[in-house]
Copies of this chain bind each other. A is one copy, B any other.
Amino acid sequence: MERRGNMMDYRPDIKVVDATIRDGGLVNNFFFEDQFVKELYEANIKAGVDYMEFGYKASKDLFKREEFGDWKFCDEEDIRRIVGDNDSNLKIAVMADVGRTDFEKDIIPKSESVIDLIRVATYIHQMPAALEMIEYCHKMGYETSCNIMAVSTARESDIDQALELLGKSSVDVIYLVDSYGSLYPEQIRELTHKYQTVADKYGKQIGIHAHNNQQLAFANTIESCTYGASYLDGTMSGMGRGAGNCMMEMLMGFLKNPKYRIIPVLRFVEKQITKLKDEGVVWGYDVPYLCTGILNVHPRSAIAASKENNRNYADFYIGLWDKE
């Protein structure tokens, strides 16, 4: 496997993607105060972050508008309420879940939108629907990425086929996603190599989105980066579902490009993240997440255990054996 870059210089292909509102919104049903989102937007600009993901483009037929904050839906006027015309170098991203987005209704032409990148999230068995959305968004003028979720439970031959389909599509970035936080660094390197080989063949770039069940989100992100990934997802203090994500403050400490600055991130964390935590919003590493990560299963039972403050860790672990 070929290593890219080194510990002294930096690679200009690297892009940092802040997913705090999108993955963090899974913790609080997207009920963020505008002040939080505005300060995050400003912190990202100052920190040199390349993309800020504002949330999902969720179907209003499938999800009740009043049960979620604005960022579950990311209406154009809501994003513009924060960013205006986004007169900055920070690009705006949203996520669109296959089967949960009315893309032909809710995704307007890029010429009318402040959004730059649409990230299509899909399970591997939904690839045809994902490709349809990717081509639609591409034709509407957007940058696109495809995030294939839960690959730690997928067959390798299926991953190979999905990557070939994406290689031949209009997608710009193919994301390696460790949905269950179950992959070890050496597995991340193998998968990165697999993704990168297809990406190089077809002129695409790859990205990495990691979860922190085994406290490996940062390690896996920088390992994937070292072996090729250009798009690196992080969130402020790792805010995200369950064990959360790769922490932006860690990424900023690691990256060598002088455009990246850790101080605006630390200032945002000390002001806005500590406030959220003081208010009782909970995410981050805990033993039940380690258990689901080790066993490579969805974290939903760990989220429930964490909410109930269930500390019968051994019984919880044993209970997972029958749920696989």
Query: CB within 8 Å of B: which residues of A?
Result: 3, 7, 184-187, 212, 214-220, 222-223, 226, 237, 247, 249-250, 253-254, 262-263, 266-267, 269-270, 274, 285, 287, 290-291, 293-294, 311-314, 317-318
Contacts and interface: CB of A to CB of B under 8 A. Distances in A.
A250 B215 contact: yes
A314 B263 contact: yes
A290 B247 CA distance: 11
Contacts of A312: 270
Interface secondary structure of A, over-half rule: helix
A151 to B, nearest CB: 16
A218 B218 contact: no
Contact of A270 (B3, B262, B314): B314
A185 B317 CA distance: 28
A250 B216 CA distance: 10
Nearest to A226: B186
- Pick the most buried of A218, A219, A262, A274: most chain B CB atoms within 10 A of its CB: A219
Contact of A215 (B187, B215, B317, B318): B215
A1 to B, nearest CB: 11
8 contacts: A185-B219, A185-B222, A215-B250, A216-B218, A266-B314, A266-B317, A270-B313, A285-B285
Nearest to A237: B287
A263 to B, nearest CB: 5
- Pick the most buried of A187, A249, A285, A293: most chain B CB atoms within 10 A of its CB: A249
Nearest to A254: B184
B222 A218 contact: no
B262 A317 contact: yes
Given A253-B290, A262-B294, 14 more contacts: A3-B186, A185-B185, A185-B222, A212-B215, A215-B217, A215-B218, A215-B285, A216-B218, A249-B287, A250-B290, A266-B313, A266-B317, A269-B313, A274-B311
